[in-house]
């Protein structure tokens, strides 16, 4: 099937648009400059500092933990929900499941903030996990 070169060009432009920023971030992570405004020189310093910084590492581990738990629980609950919706043709469940997608994220965050505060629930890793799962 003949295909026009304009389609190719436009599509390649699209792919470049998607990937170039990411490549730039990776490349600049080796940049020997504090401000990271322009390229100065190659260095592994930043990486050294990252791995030496305990707070960062702890934060990363927190994120990893939250992501893992949220994924697992979401998968389990999601599969159950999917199964239930298919088998039992519930009316309520699809609405509840699909509403979070139709609503901007910030609203989820804000409403859960109210919720947790009202219950005097300590805001912390667990609350973040719970929020991610719901979303």
Partner 1 sequence: MPDTSSPAEAPGRGGRAASWQTRSSGAGRWLVSGPPLAYLLVFFAIPALIMVAASFTPPGEFGGLAPLFEDGKANLTLEAYERFAEDPIYLELFVKSVLYAAITTLCCLLLAYPLALLVARSARKYRDLLMLLVILPFWSNFLIRVYAWMIILGPQSAVSRALNAVVEPLGFDPVSLLFSSFAVLVGLVYVHLPFMVLPLYANLEKHDPALLDAAQDLGANAWQRFWRVTFPLSLPGVWAGAALVFIPALGIFAIPDILGGTESTLIGNVIKQQFLETRDWPFGSVLSIMLTAVALALAGLAAWVSRPRRTT
**Which of the residues 30 through 59 are near partner 1 (CB under 8 A)?**
36-38
Asked if 110 interacts with partner 1 (CB under 8 A), we say: yes
Return the residue of 30, 46, 69, 84 that touches partner 1, per CB under 8 A: 84
Among 60, 62, 65, 78, binds partner 1 (CB under 8 A): 78
- From CA 41, how far away is CA 22, in angstroms rounded? 19
Q: Does 8 bind partner 1 (CB under 8 A)?
A: yes
Footprint of partner 1 (CB under 8 A): 1, 3-4, 7-8, 10-11, 13-15, 17-22, 24-25, 28, 36-38, 77-78, 80-81, 83-85, 87-88, 90, 92-93, 96-97, 99-100, 102-108, 110-115, 117-118, 130-131, 133-134
């Amino acid at each position: 099937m003949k295909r026009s070169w304009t389609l190719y060009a436009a599509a390649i432009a699209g792919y470049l648009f998607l990937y170039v920023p990411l490549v730039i971030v990776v490349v600049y992570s080796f940049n020997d400059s504090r401000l990271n405004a322009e390229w100065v020189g190659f260095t592994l310093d930043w990486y050294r500092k990252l791995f030496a910084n305990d707070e960062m590492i702890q934060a990363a581990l927190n994120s990893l933990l939250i992501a893992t738990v949220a994924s697992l629980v979401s998968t389990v609950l999601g599969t159950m929900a999917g199964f239930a919706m298919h088998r039992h043709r519930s009316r309520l469940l699809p609405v509840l499941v699909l509403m979070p997608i139709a609503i901007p994220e910030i609203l989820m965050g804000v409403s859960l903030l109210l919720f947790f505060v009202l219950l005097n629930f300590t805001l912390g890793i667990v609350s973040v996990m719970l929020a991610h799962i719901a979303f």
